[in-house]
Amino acid sequence: MATTTVRVRGLAQLQRDLRRATPTLYTDLRGELRGIASIVSEEARRRLAQLSPTPTRSVSGIRPRVRTNAAVAEQARRKTTGKRADWGSRQMQHALSPALDAKEAEVVVRLERMLDNLGRDLGF
């Protein structure tokens, strides 16, 4: 399974503390992170559609996910045939990694805005 991640130091601790303090902030944070990961997922889907001879199945498998320490754009589908042993690495090289590189500035801006809003909501 191919994944590209955007990591924020201290994200796991922030989520843990928000879950303890106010559950609504925790769910809002996860929703924002999913939105940020969807920026990269949409770009990766677009790039993969150009790469794949039959793009429907592969493209539909790229999804944003939020984990404890990362917002992730990943290929959720399993390999269905043995025709392309290098298909996972091709997806990484030609779709997922370039999508993150292309959208890095937008991802950073959204992360900074999210953290600023979170600090303001908590009174910092």
For residue 27, the model assigns a pLDDT of 82
What are the pLDDT digits (tens) for 61-114?
888 888 877 777 877 777 666 677 777 788 888 888 898 889 989 988 998 898
What span, in angstroms and rounded, lies between the C-alpha atoms of 123 and 115? Answer: 12
Tell me how far apart the alpha carbons of residues 89 and 57 are, in angstroms, rounded to a whole number.
17
**What pTM does this model have?**
0.73
Report yes or no: 59 and 48 within 8 Å, Cβ to Cβ.
yes
pLDDT tens, position by position, 33-58: 899 899 999 998 888 888 766 666 77
- Cα of 46 vs its chain's centroid, Å: 15
Residue 54: per-residue pLDDT: 64
